[in-house]
Structure 1
Amino acid sequence: MKILLTALAALTIGMGNTFAQEQDTTLRQLPEATVSVGYLADGQSPFTFQDISREALMNKNVGQEPSFLLSETPSITVYSDAGSYQGYSYYRMRGIDQTRINMTLDGVPLNEPEDQGVYFSNYPDFLNSVSNIQVQRGVGTSKNGTSSYAGSLQFTSPSLRDSSATTVGTGYGSYNTYRAFAEYKSGLHNNMGLYLRGSHLHSDGYRDNAANTSSSVFYSGGIFLPKSILKLTGFAGNQQNEMAWLGVSEEMIAENPKASANTDQEDDNFTQSLTQLQFTHFLNSNATLNASVFYNYLEGNYDFDLNNFLGLPSTDELYNYAFRSNFVGMFANYQYETDRLDWTSGIQANSYSRRHTGSEKTLGQLYQNVGYKREFSAFSKVAYTAGKAVLYADLQYRYTDFDYTQPLVDFSLLSWQFLNPKVGITYHLSEASDLYYSIGRTGREPTRNDMFAGSDELPIDEQNNPVLSSTDAEYVTDHELGWRYNSPKVSASVNAYWMDFENEMVLNGQFGPNGLALNSNVEKSYRTGLEVSWQYQPIRQLTLINNSSYNYSRITQQETTFSPILTPKVIVNQEVVYRYNKFETALSFRYQSASYMDFANEATLKDYTLLNWRANYQFNHLKLSLMVNNLTNTRYFNNGYIDYDGSRKLFVQAPANWYMMVTYSF
């Protein structure tokens, strides 16, 4: 850390000296999100991305897990343990799971470093306090934290420049689902701004043993000086879930569609909090320095009925896995802009530890171990405008290591180094139209679960030597070719991608001793496809929105070629929105084609079609909203696996359901 601070100080002094002669007294108004701007894509970038605005989020957000709103963008699939919209949900991008998707809030890594996942269930009502989401598909720009292997999600915190307002809201819907929240925005007064939000949510869930009760707070405060911004942002959440992460056989679903394979004695309880201090300083009219420190804390546990998992009658035997983690880090970037040049360089470092404790209800504590992970990365990227072309280059160096302490085990530190280059070009065909191409490469280290073969404690041999499963990194080379068009009535983007993998880790259909899904390396694999987004407004009141994708992916292993699991070829999202004065209504359609559940490509999840409707009316300070999902009462499955006995296990999702909400602002 001392070396990093020395390097940062030298970088700052050098920049100050380099550009001191360019200082002027007329500075542009300081934007708020400059800390994360260096990691985002824009219209000049040769990458595939899509922004989801605050307005779009608020029209659809009712406290549901973010995964469901993300599924309205191309190449995203989603499923929920509970079958409904609260509790644990998961998404995949281009068929790749979310542990391979980088996620940040204002540049702060959200992925848990050991297993590289994000559980939005720990951040209840998170979208209520997000001003923008940028979805990057493919390698994209350099980010902080875990690798952008399949893509990335960049969340932006609330703007403190918004007008002063207080908003309260409450809602109720199917499966005893309810939500209440209160939000306060001070606006900017005396160069200071404040944002506060508190929420409480509950749902019984559609499936049995799938209830969720959760609460959260989100806060942000800032001081805006003539040349600097100091901003403190954070949130804390607690969730208590019943467990419904096991699939159910088709026979059980036929008898009771709400059936759960988990038992009613399996529960979990997790608390997580994040605090970030951001500093932004304009060195002059062209140069900006951003720095941030953060701390993320997690504590919780979940129950596991091993007998039930193995298909045996449940007894009083009940295992519990408990975790406590500390995640602290810093990052800084320097940005220099002129009419033709945009150059950003940055560094990031973090340190992480997680204590794992395994116990059994009658036997007490069985073991305790601690995993440690450190990371350092540095990047430099430049975009240069030459006539109608914007040339782009981005180079990131990333180092990460993993250590482990367990009694009687002599563990040797594991480390990985990655050099991640990206180059591309954006060509302006006209005022409204751009063509882009990029090629990028990135690598990703295995998760703890991959290395430990699904065990919470590292397996050892008879001589107490560690038995590691896979420690090899995986790599992807990503080609993105696209076209973007924007006019007053029409906006559109079309892109083709080719992702060529080395040593890719893919689901193998097996499960570890604590029930977690296992992955295996494959010799060769690629994913390719076409993604389309467009929006058309033929008249002022009517808007048509489409987000669709086609995917063709193959894996080669031991001279056998097959398709990856849980990767549908076709996804279509079509929405029709009608607005008249203060009334808005929308009808949305989703089609998802069949996908395979096993490497043999014999068991499939059937295709399905969903039809959802929503409406809201703004009456002065009062807003009324109603949503009805799955209008046609379709029984569908969007996740499944082949169990150890060869049977199909499925996750049924909710039939027709509704939710009504009232919000009042003053």
Structure 2
Amino acid sequence: TGLKKDLNLYAKYNYELTKDVNLFADFQYRKIDYSIGGLDDDLRDLKQTHNFEFFNPKVGIFYQVDGRQNLYANYARANREPNRDNYVDADPQGKQPTFETLNDFELGYKYTTSRFAFGVNAYYMLYQNQLILTGEINDVGAPIMTNVDNSYRAGLELMAGMKVTEKLKWDVNVTLSRNKIKGFSEFVDDWDNGGQVENKLGTTDLAFSPEIIANSQLSWMAAKGLTVSLQSYSVSKQYIDNSSSNDRKLNGYLLNNLKLTYRVPQKLAKEMNLHLLVNNLFDTQYENNAWVYSYIYGGERFAMDGYFPQAGINFLAGIDIKF
């Protein structure tokens, strides 16, 4: 069993430095009291208590350059406590999980007209004690989450929208990023000698963190009340563990969905729409998740893994009514 008490206090402040420049600040105070009791499946006593006090600030500046352009910059700090599984799975005789800290720096620009919009956001997210899987296990062989000293996510988010004609609109966004762990060590079960082998890999990629994610939506008003949209979604390759090994990765993929929406002319309700969605229009074969377990046997490294194929072309129809 577990009991978690979570107290939150918030404060917000906005100051108009000039008619075009605003300063803002958000503050959060959190106090957490967490207690766990009872016996685990292996009859281990789980009794433990944890207490945290966090101060999470966010400060920034917003500058309205003119009627079409604005600039902003902000900084935020966030702390997060481990969850119940992190505590319960931890080796009682080993390292205990501690809270994670994120320092987030962002700088952005937006430009908007009646027919075109563009935005760019640069970010740098520095983690301290991020909880990740390293291959370490507890006293009964279950994988545990381990704090790593230094990891980060840095990148650019690009957004654009264009009204090509009165009936054709195109929206697109792209995220380019680097997601790294510095000084990473992985642990691999040694079936020959027992225990685990530590491999110091230096700087590696965070698992399930593709460097490129892109979305596009092309919308066409084909007839009165009928809108046809082509939605495209692209993801680059990503690793399924934190070792950056090409033997343990998900390949990149591109998906396309077709959506038709028809607004039914009627007087029974305020609005009635019929929808038809064709998912995975071109029946692309891809996986978006996987698991892996690595071990050493006979002096060689092996892996057991499983990949999760996603649905091919499929259809969804629906109706929504607003009164």
Query: For this structure pair, what is the TM-score category when the shorter chain's length is used for normalisation?
Result: 0.7 to 0.9
Q: Shift in Å at residue 379 of structure 1?
A: 2.1
Q: Shift in Å at residue 428 of structure 1?
A: 0.9
* 1:405 counterpart (32, 37, 48): 37
Q: SS in structure 1 opposite 2:86?
A: helix
In the other structure, the counterpart of 1:606 is 251
In the other structure, the counterpart of 1:183 is none
Q: CA RMSD in A?
A: 2.6
* 1:483 counterpart (109, 113, 116): 109
Normalized per residue, the structure richer in strand is 2
Q: Distance in 2 between matches of 1:618 and 1:513?
A: 61
Q: Shift in Å at residue 547 of structure 1?
A: 1.8
Q: Shift in Å at residue 664 of structure 1?
A: 5.1
Q: Distance in 1 between matches of 2:217 and 2:316?
A: 19
Change in 2 beyond 3 A, CA 1:393/1:613? same
In the other structure, the counterpart of 2:17 is 386
Query: Cα deviation per residue 1:394-449 (whole Å; 9 max; x = unaligned)?
Result: 22211102112226948342101111122110111111211000111111111111
Aligned letter for 2:287?
Answer: F
Aligned letter for 2:313?
Answer: A
Matches within 5 A, 1:139-158: none
| Contact 1:441 1:476 (C-alpha < 8 Å) held by counterparts | yes
| Contact 1:509 1:642 (C-alpha < 8 Å) held by counterparts | no
Q: Distance in 1 between matches of 2:37 and 2:170?
A: 56
Aligned letter for 1:656?
Answer: I
Aligned letter for 1:613?
Answer: L
Matches within 5 A, 1:426-437: 426-437=62-73
Q: SS in structure 2 opposite 1:451?
A: helix
Q: Shift in Å at residue 590 of structure 1?
A: 1.3
Higher relative contact order (CA 8 A, sep 6+): 1
In the other structure, the counterpart of 2:226 is 583
Q: Shift in Å at residue 481 of structure 1?
A: 0.6
Matches within 5 A, 1:514-593: 518-556=144-182, 557=184, 560-579=202-221, 580-593=223-236
Q: Unpaired segments of 5 or more residues in structure 1? A: 1-369, 460-465
Q: Distance in 1 between matches of 2:175 and 2:64?
A: 25
Change in 2 beyond 3 A, CA 1:487/1:510? farther
Change in 2 beyond 3 A, CA 1:516/1:632? farther
Q: Shift in Å at residue 450 of structure 1?
A: 0.8
Aligned letter for 2:276?
Answer: L
In the other structure, the counterpart of 1:472 is 98
Aligned letter for 1:391?
Answer: L
Tell me whether 1:618 sits opposite 2:263 in the alignment: yes
In the other structure, the counterpart of 1:643 is 293
Q: Shift in Å at residue 467 of structure 1?
A: 5.7
Aligned letter for 2:285?
Answer: R
| Contact 2:97 2:145 (C-alpha < 8 Å) held by counterparts | no
Change in 2 beyond 3 A, CA 1:509/1:545? farther
Change in 2 beyond 3 A, CA 1:420/1:663? closer
TM-score (norm: length of structure 2): 0.81
Q: Distance in 2 between matches of 1:511 and 1:652?
A: 28
In the other structure, the counterpart of 2:189 is none
TM-score (norm: length of structure 1): 0.41
Q: SS in structure 2 opposite 1:452?
A: helix
Percent sequence identity is 28
Matches within 5 A, 1:388-467: 388-406=20-38, 409=45, 411-453=47-89
Change in 2 beyond 3 A, CA 1:608/1:515? farther
Q: SS in structure 2 opposite 1:413?
A: strand
Change in 2 beyond 3 A, CA 1:541/1:520? same
Q: Distance in 1 between matches of 2:276 and 2:142?
A: 37
Aligned letter for 1:628?
Answer: V
Q: Shift in Å at residue 493 of structure 1?
A: 2.0
Query: Cα deviation per residue 1:459-499 (whole Å; 9 max; x = unaligned)?
Result: 7xxxxxx6675331110110011112232222332100001
Q: SS in structure 2 opposite 1:472?
A: coil
| Contact 1:491 1:536 (C-alpha < 8 Å) held by counterparts | yes
Q: Unpaired segments of 5 or more residues in structure 2? A: 186-199, 267-271, 296-302
Q: Distance in 1 between matches of 2:7 and 2:178?
A: 35
Query: Cα deviation per residue 1:175-213 (whole Å; 9 max; x = unaligned)?
Result: xxxxxxxxxxxxxxxxxxxxxxxxxxxxxxxxxxxxxxx
Aligned letter for 1:629?
Answer: N
Q: Distance in 2 between matches of 1:511 and 1:382?
A: 46
Q: Shift in Å at residue 593 of structure 1?
A: 0.3
In the other structure, the counterpart of 1:657 is 314
Q: Distance in 2 between matches of 1:665 and 1:428?
A: 37
Matches within 5 A, 1:253-268: none
Change in 2 beyond 3 A, CA 1:628/1:503? same
Matches within 5 A, 1:200-211: none
* 2:130 counterpart (504, 513, 516): 504
Matches within 5 A, 1:65-464: 370-387=1-18, 388-406=20-38, 409=45, 411-453=47-89
Normalized per residue, the structure richer in helix is 1
Aligned letter for 1:600?
Answer: S
Aligned letter for 1:636?
Answer: Y
| Contact 1:525 1:554 (C-alpha < 8 Å) held by counterparts | yes
